[in-house]
């Protein structure tokens, strides 16, 4: 069966520090991968998605970047964190069977709660 792992679960970082959040998927190949953020009082917002190694699409302009160095690894990064980067970050995957916009459900990790001081 497929599983998705995110770490760390909780992170407290000072303003201006770098960030690296990692997500890995097991039990499937060539998944579509996503990073979402859930800010306090707001809905989940798609940040990045990837259809393959090295392919990243950004949904909103921001202080963050994403990379996909391996098929089942998705990394969210920042060079200098801002207070507004605080939130709950969720990684998700879906099967790429049938194409990018295939009607496959998205499956989510347990998330990383990021607090910026």
Partner 1 sequence: KQEVTQIPAALSVPEGENLVLNCSFTDSAIYNLQWFRQDPGKGLTSLLLIQSSQREQTSGRLNASLDKSSGRSTLYIAASQPGDSATYLCAVSGGADGLTFGKGTHLIIQP
Contact set with partner 1 (CB under 8 A): 6, 34, 36, 42-46, 49, 57, 59, 90, 92, 100-101, 103, 105-111, 113
Measured from the Cβ of residue 98, the count of other Cβ atoms closer than 10 Å reads 9
- For residues 2 and 80, which CB has a smaller minimum distance to partner 1 in the complex? 2
Measured from the Cβ of residue 39, the count of other Cβ atoms closer than 10 Å reads 13
- For residues 26 and 59, which CB has a smaller minimum distance to partner 1 in the complex? 59
Residue with tokens 């990684």: 91
Let me know: does 17 contact 36? Beta carbons within 8 Å.
no
State how beta strands 3-7 and 10-13 pair. Answer: unpaired
Minimum CB separation of residue 80 from partner 1 in Å reads 26
Length, in residues, of the chain? 117
- For residues 43 and 69, which CB has a smaller minimum distance to partner 1 in the complex? 43
Minimum CB separation of residue 72 from partner 1 in Å reads 17
Minimum CB separation of residue 37 from partner 1 in Å reads 11
């Amino acid at each position: 069966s497929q599983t998705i792992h995110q770490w760390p679960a909780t992170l407290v970082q000072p303003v201006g520090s770098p960030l690296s959040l990692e997500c890995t998927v097991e039990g499937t190949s060539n998944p579509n991968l996503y990073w979402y953020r859930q800010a306090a009082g707001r809905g989940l917002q798609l940040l990045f998605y990837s259809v393959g190694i090295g392919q990243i699409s950004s949904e909103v302009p921001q202080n963050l970047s994403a990379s996909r160095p391996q098929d089942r690894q998705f990394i969210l990064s920042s060079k200098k964190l801002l207070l507004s980067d605080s939130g709950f970050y969720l990684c998700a995957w879906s099967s790429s069977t049938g194409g990018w916009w295939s009607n496959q459900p998205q499956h989510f990790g347990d998330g990383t709660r990021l607090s910026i001081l």
